[in-house]
Amino acid sequence: MKDGATKQIPAHVVSTSLELSIAEKTLEQLLSSLDYNVHPDAIFHSDQGMHYTHPLFQQKVKLAGFKQSMSRKGKCWDNAPMESFFGHMKDEMDYEDCQTIEELRQRVNEYILKYNTSRYQ
């Protein structure tokens, strides 16, 4: 997840699964980083991936206090900040030699720490 105001990545999960729980864990991380204090005008924007359109996830987003917004189908530009982040991460992060999901998770964590604290945005 990327904060539209700070441009930082306040929550992320690396997983080998495409289960709904990956989105739920990321949302929980986000809420924890906000001390469960969601601004009344906060918008949760995403693409139309199966996780974000699932009724249970939509309910959790609403209960957390976010207004949900989604990109139009087939319009990647609607989610350009996140797509741009992933593009830069793939270009800048050395991940080809990772042998395990744990190694990849560590590289992603290191990259996001650098991205949030010292990388020009």
Q: Residue 3's pLDDT band (boundaries 50, 70, 90)?
A: very high
Residue 29 lies in a domain: yes
- pLDDT digits over 25-79, tens only? 999 999 999 999 999 999 999 989 999 999 999 999 999 999 999 999 888 788 8
- The number of domains in the chain is 1
Domain that holds residue 75: 20-118
Q: Which residues contact 72 (CB under 8 A, 6 or more apart)?
A: 78
Which tokens in the block code for residue 111?
Answer: 């990259």
- CATH number of the domain where residue 103 is located: 3.30.420.10
